[in-house]
Amino acid sequence: MSILKDKNILLGITAGIAAYKSASLVRLFIKSGANVKVVMTPASKDFITPLTLSTLSKNPVYSSFVDEEDDNEVWNNHVDLGLWADIFIIAPATANTMAKMANGVCDNILLATYLSAKCPVYFAPAMDLDMYKHASTKASFDKLTSYGNKLIPAGTGELASGLVGEGRLAEPEDIVSFIEKDILNQLPLKDKPILITAGPTYEALDPVRFIGNHSSGKMGFEIANAAANLGAQVILVTGPTHQKTTHSHIDVKPVTSAEDMYIEVHKHFKSSDIAILSAAVADYRPKTVANQKIKKKDSTFSIELEKTKDILKSLGEIKSNQFLVGFALETNNELKHAKGKLKSKNLDLIVLNSLQDKGAGFGVSTNKVTFITSAGDVIENELKSKAEVAKDLMQQILKQLDA
């Protein structure tokens, strides 16, 4: 999964022959999972049609401040466009538009949107060789980068004039790669190894039966996605679940039993900077596992159970510099029990959720949690989607790490 997934990308197109590459760029952004809108200078419509870009982006294309629909004038709000965008990329960026951007000239909707944008702005120049080398163009580059805009260098090759040299618009794949790498390089957990557990464990009774719980693994998978989106390299140890992830920064290690999870977690813990144990691990397992299916005979049936290894406690006993996070699912005296678990297992943070809270717990897409830190802070959160809870958790971890 690309780091651009779910990002709002605004693509600005100016009047150069390289505008034909914009169609491929839109397709690549859509393929990465981003939401795409396009804003054009009026003259750029001579090189590529708004209909093409609208069809590919699945959104209206903006090229003027006012559209006429059924004899009514519709105002295209450049401020809203600028605020909507997580990323603004101008490609191709002509010498004319860059000079206007550098000097605050605002005579079309693209330039007005640029001046309104609060997000990172990338620009990819495209022009002929002599224009690219001109001192005024270099001055525009320097001024734009001094404002915090990011230059995607032009390529070298045959140009529309027939000359060979610098000035070619970077290829769409290279533009996407440049933006992805730039975002990753700024992420707070870039390349940090993080260990996360998710899902239930199944404790075998015989070859066809097991003791388990109702955990779906969704919370753990959302945490893994949130950590990966912050640049982390995630090892996700998960019990049996239907949850899936395609994120390129998540390495899934499927396990079945508590013992399997114990072994797999200990393989990776020492090399991890952060460990978040959200799995619902069985506290007990059958003492004896039958080799063959147990036949129904008597009206009652007893199973002797034995304790499983306490994975979280075992990590708390051996941790050195790792930041260790546990989960507590409680049904009564929730805060007291969670604080006790935080201390007894040597945790840096515990996430408490109660089955008494409607919309929290297993098998639902929402959760209501309380963060309890090793410093004694208690931070209550509202009912949110598990994806939002995961983001909140990662922000809380970063806050404590920076303290």
Selected catalytic residue, list 76, 77, 96, 213? 213
Give the DSSP per-residue string, 241-300: -S-----TTEEEEE--SHHHHHHHHHHHSTT-SEEEE--B--SEEESS--SSPPPP-SS-
The yes-or-no answer on residue 59 being catalytic is: no
Distance of CA 42 to the CA centre of its chain: 35
Structure tokens belonging to residue 381: 């959160």
The strand pairing partners of 326, in sequence order, are: 277, 350
| Residue 232 dihedral angles phi and psi, to the nearest 5° | -70, 155
Distance CA 41, CA 399 (A): 43
Distance CA 143, CA 11 (A): 21
Q: Left if phi > 0, otherwise alpha if psi is -120 to 50, otherwise beta: which for 383?
A: beta
Residue of 179, 44, 81 whose CA lies nearest to 123:
179
**Which residue in the block uniquely carries the two structure tokens 């590459």?**
21
Residue of 140, 96, 97, 149 whose CA lies nearest to 119:
149
Distance CA 89, CA 156 (A): 20
Tell me the catalytic residues.
213
